[in-house]
Amino acid sequence: MEIKKRVLIVDDEKAIRDSVGELIKEEGYSVVTAPNFELAMAQSKYVDCIILDLQLSPKFEMDGGTFLKHVWKDIWCDVPIIVYSGFLGIMGIDEDLKQIERLCGKGRNIYRCISKSSGVKLLIEAVNECLKKNSGGAVMDAGK
């Protein structure tokens, strides 16, 4: 039996986590969702792709930018990230990436940036492309 690729969705909006998660499951992938970094760490030890909202609620300890810094620092340094946020899309992809780098530092594994206003079709296409190109995931290690 083939092991399903695992996608982690980190978004503070439950409706988005649930609806995007269902669509990704329909594509044949395993899905784990979390509203914040702490729950993401607690719920999953291995992922092949991360979908991340940059504007996580201030009630959580960590926003999406800080999450990215942790990912790039030592936890999931090789896992491709699809940034899916209402924060994107106004300036175009090059400017979006520059702004993310200004906020979060330079990362090496942002696969794609997609605005939530673009809808989920582009997101699902990006997940499919990403998981076909990237054969291996990474184990999370909260102890690092």
Q: Domains in the chain, please, with CATH?
A: 6-135 (3.40.50.2300)
Residue type, 49: C
- pLDDT tens profile 117-144: 888 999 999 999 999 987 655 444 444 3
Distance CA 129, CA 125 (A): 6
Q: Tokens 């669509």 belong to which residue?
A: 23
Residues 44, 58: Cα–Cα separation, whole Å? 23
pLDDT in tens, 77-100: 678 888 888 766 555 555 656 666
| Better-scored residue on pLDDT, 90 or 65 | 65
DSSP helix/strand/coil, 118 = helix
